[in-house]
Structure 1
């Protein structure tokens, strides 16, 4: 096994989710699933987000489509926050002149 990925079956066992849940996340592009012959893997880079998706699904009973919408909204909020921070910094610069 590559050091940068975990077996798909291990993810199912560890996170106690159904295959269909992981497959749906993969189909929507929310996590990357990779194949090597007959073996499937989840990239380690994806585990933090996968854990978040599993919590949303289990704790708040949010379906995969809701997870997708919520994820994209959070990405947008982070982007807007970064833009606000940049504009604040620029404004401070011009005020200091």
Structure 2
């Protein structure tokens, strides 16, 4: 495997001591997307932070796939609301300066 942008799932299973079925479940819920590189399923390195969060949610909090999906949806909403709040604050500052 020459492309370092992709991390093979078997390596992740070994490193995190987790079954391949966990990644299959995440994929079924649309939480991660596999990429096939040289007949091996991989995850893009940009998605590793999310994958690690999902693993921690599953292992530390014993959340199932539905729970992980709910948490990630809520986190996306929080990020969106933070962005909206920042935009609104910036607009308000412009009006206050006038």
Give the equivalent residue in structure 2 for 1:4: 5
> What secondary structure sits across from 1:17 in the alignment?
coil
Q: State the aligned residue count.
A: 97
**TM-score normalized with structure 1 length:** 0.92
Give the equivalent residue in structure 2 for 1:32: 33
Structure 1 consecutive aligned stretches of length 4 or more whose deviation exceeds 6 Å: none
> What secondary structure sits across from 1:29 in the alignment?
coil
**TM-score normalized with structure 2 length:** 0.91
Runs (5+) with no aligned partner, structure 2: none
Deviation at 1:36, TM superposition (A): 3.1
Coordinate RMSD, CA, aligned? 1.2
Runs (5+) with no aligned partner, structure 1: none
